Amino acid sequence: MQEDPQAKSKPPIRDHPRSDMEFGGIKPKAFQRDEKSSKCLVYILVIMVIQGSILLVFASYFLRARTPGFEIGSVEVRNLKYGNSSAPSFNFTLVTQVTVENTNFGDFRFDNSTGSVWCGSEVVGLMKIPKGRAQARASEMMKVSTQVSSVRLSDANNLASNMSYGLLELKSYVKLSGKVTIMNIMKRRRNPEMNCFMKLNLTGNTIQRLKCD
C-alpha cells in the first residue's frame, strides 16, 4: 500500500526531482499513522464484539420463546353418583382450575383444544379448553368443567375391584396449541402439554391426590 501510490496514483510527485527523498522522509510517519489506526480498528472491533455479545445475551433472555407451563391448579368433584359392586358405575362433574403460566416477555395465544380424562386405558370424559391468551409474564386461569362417566367404558365390570376400595384412579391429558409473540418480531409455535393423575375418593367426594407432570 505504501509503494503503489508512489508508482501509480500520485503522478505529480513522480515528476518532481526530489520526490524520492520526500517520500523517504514521509514513510515512517505514514507507517506510524497506520499503526495507530490499526490499533483503533482493534478497539472498534473489540467494542463491537462486546456489544454483540451483550445484544446476544439480551436477545437470548428476552426474545427466547419458552414453552408456557400448563397444569391443573385445583380440582373439585360435583354431582357424584356411583353404583357399587353389582352394577359398578360412576358419573360426576370434574371442575378444574386450569392454569397457563406464561414466563415469556410476550403474549401466548392458544386455540381451543379438547383433552381427555382416562380411567385405566379408556376415555371417560372430554376436557374442553376454550381458546385464550396469557399475557406476558402472567398466568391465565380458566375454570373447566368436564363430565366424567363410566358409560363410555366398554366393560364397567372390572371397575368393581377398583371401586370397592373406595378410590378411583383417573388421568388427564391435554395439549395446547398456541403462539408466543415477543415484541412483534418473534413468533414461535409452542405446545404445552399437561399430564395429571388423581385419585377420587368416592365416599369422601373429593380428589385425594393430584399430581401433574
Ligand X SMILES: *[C@@H]1O[C@H](CO)[C@@H](O)[C@H](O)[C@H]1NC(C)=O
Binding positions for ligand X, rule: CB under 6 A: 79, 84-85, 91, 112-114, 119-120, 149, 151, 159, 162-163, 166-167, 169, 201-204
Grid cell locating 16: 518532481
Residue 151 or 185 with smaller CB distance to ligand X: 151
> Which amino acid, residue 26?
I
Residue placing its CB nearer to ligand X in the complex, 65 or 124: 124
Q: Which is nearer to ligand X, 175 or 188 (CB)?
A: 175
Nearest distance, CB of residue 64 and ligand X, angstroms? 28
Locus of grid cell 406464561: 102
Do the Cβ atoms of 115 and 127 come closer than 8 Å? yes
Closest Cα partner for 146 from 197, 213, 92? 92
Do 172 and 117 touch, CB atoms closer than 8 A?
yes
Closest approach of ligand X to the CB of residue 212, in Å: 19
- Least gap, CB of 156 to ligand X (angstroms): 9
Close Cβ partners of 17 (under 8 Å, ≥ 6 residues apart)? none
* Least gap, CB of 115 to ligand X (angstroms): 9
Measured from the CB atom, the residue of 2 and 145 that comes closer to ligand X is: 145
Q: Which of 81, 96, 158, 151 shows the shortest CA–CA distance to 123? A: 151
State the minimum distance, in angstroms, from the CB of residue 97 to ligand X: 20
CB closer to ligand X out of 6 and 91? 91
User: For residues 33 and 196, what is the distance between their CA atoms, to the nearest angstrom?
Assistant: 71
